[in-house]
A and B are shown apart, each in its own frame.
Chain A
Amino acid sequence: MAIESIYRDKTVVERLVQQIQKIHLQHPVRVMHVCGTHENVISRFGLRDLLPEGVDVVAGPGCPVCVCPGRDIEFANELALKEKTIIATFGDMIKVPSSAGSLSDSKTKGADIRVVYGPFDAVKIAKENPAKEVVLFAVGFETTACGVASLIQQSNLPENLSILISHRLIPPSMEFLLGVGDLCIDGFLIPGHVAAVMGMEQYRLFPEAYRIPTVAAGFEPVDVLMGILAIVTQIKEGTYRCENVYQRAVQEKGNVKAQTAIKEVFDIVPAYWRGIGKIPRSGLRLKERYKMQDARCRFNNPPFPPLQKGGEGGLDINPGCSCHLIMIGKIKPTNCPLFGNTCIPEAPYGPCMVSMDGTCRVWYKYKRNV
């Protein structure tokens, strides 16, 4: 598309890489991004190979489908197998494994599972099926949560529609990871979409309290490289601040209308992240006044039992799968012995091999021949 082609321009890319190379750093730098779309552009355009030695970019917990706790998927399966119930969810969720199997497994057993592009599709399904309970299984970060909030704000929602909320907030997970001592994160690359919605203010904490350069970037090669250049420049200069290199979409204050919708509809609660554990103030729950739309209330989803311990120290992770380490950027997919053999997109063994936001899935797509 013409409007974006300049952000893929080879000469600009080369010049930015040269700029990054010119900055001589005292020690190796690890930049963490927290967005599946960033991982896609980095892998697709081979940006890691262009970066000088000593500058590495790792993927953090940027895949909402991957971090959705197995027990939410189990609950969705339980509902799916009830009579006269339809589960509507984003395509990415269908194949994610849990100890009760995936939604796709339930579909094989006869459950009615529908793929939606946006929350409003679920309204349509509910209206077309008045004799059935329709449950929208809503995962996603701030960018998806605002849409679901907007849906909930509508008057005259069909009575047979309820929502199973499994939304997560990005900044609390970033702060959580800074406490994982051996991760050594020197800079954060912020997903431009989340910043476009939530604004820059919520990231001030990282440069101010942790002295970590924090830069919001878009999703073309030039955007990502501008972000990395900004981060290494700050490190070199010893200045730490929030920067926005995605001015064409991100305004300082973000999208206040979307933020207001989120605030109006949700309470912020502690939440589990698959493979990572409980993170304070990182999840959303429907406010009391929307109880009627809350699938957890409607179907009496009891207070959660403790998470099952999975393999090799990972919570909620199958034995042998290393997603708990992938999600925090500690190892790369190619370090997992199952990558590309036992675990492939057609038969994903772990959650990171399902969605195109999942690091293993992205690496499989772009690095299978490496």
Chain B
Amino acid sequence: MCLAVPSKIVEIKDTIATIDVHGVRRDVSILLLPEDVNVGDYVLVHAGFAIQKIDKEAGDDAMRLINELIEMDELKE
């Protein structure tokens, strides 16, 4: 039921978005999304609904933080 990978929006018509996951396309409802989305955005999809927009920058920040923490830790040794 659950697509664990972020799905890329390739088309939007009304409240339906066409998403692409590894070349497989499917229509999902965007009725539940709290914010506007555009073609090219990534969303989390579950049972026919986009349930959240993926914030790529927040992801990048988290990764950078992790890398910094690990590097700091290695420097200490």
Contacts and interface: CB of A to CB of B under 8 A. Distances in A.
B62 A143 contact: no
8 contacts: A7-B63, A16-B66, A22-B73, A120-B48, A144-B46, A193-B2, A245-B62, A248-B55
Given A120-B29, A193-B44, A197-B52, A40 B62 contact: no
Interface stretch (A177-185, A255-263, A275-283, A316-324): A255-263
A202 B66 CA distance: 26
Contact of B51 (A4, A40, A220, A255): A255
Interface in B33-71: 33-34, 42, 44, 46-49, 51-52, 54-56, 58-59, 61-63, 66-67, 70
Interface of B: 1-2, 4-6, 8, 21-22, 26, 28-29, 31-34, 42, 44, 46-49, 51-52, 54-56, 58-59, 61-63, 66-67, 70, 73
Q: Of A7, A121, A197, A255, which is in contact with the most chain B CB atoms at under 10 Å from its CB?
A: A255
A119 interface: yes
A193 B29 CA distance: 16
Contacts of B47: 90, 117-119, 140, 143-144, 147
B37 to A, nearest CB: 13
Contacts of A326: none
Contacts of A258: 32, 34, 51
> Interface residues of B: mostly helix, strand, loop or mixed?
mixed
Contacts of B34: 255-258
B63 A197 contact: no
Contact of B4 (A41, A92, A226): A41
Given A143-B47, A248-B55, A92 B1 contact: yes
B73 A150 contact: no
B59 A36 contact: no
Q: Which 10 A-B pairs have the closest CB atoms?
A: A118-B48, A248-B59, A219-B4, A147-B49, A247-B58, A196-B52, A143-B46, A257-B34, A258-B32, A144-B47
B64 to A, nearest CB: 11
A293 interface: no
Nearest to B16: A120
Contact of A36 (B2, B31, B51, B52): B2
A355 B9 CA distance: 27
Contacts of A10: none
Contacts of A19: 70, 73
A32 interface: no
B13 to A, nearest CB: 14
Q: Of B42, B44, B47, which is in contact with the most chain A CB atoms at under 10 Å from its CB?
A: B47
A144 B6 CA distance: 17
Q: Of A19, A144, A147, A251, which is in contact with the most chain B CB atoms at under 10 Å from its CB?
A: A147
Interface string A237-262: 00000000101111100011110010
A130 to B, nearest CB: 22
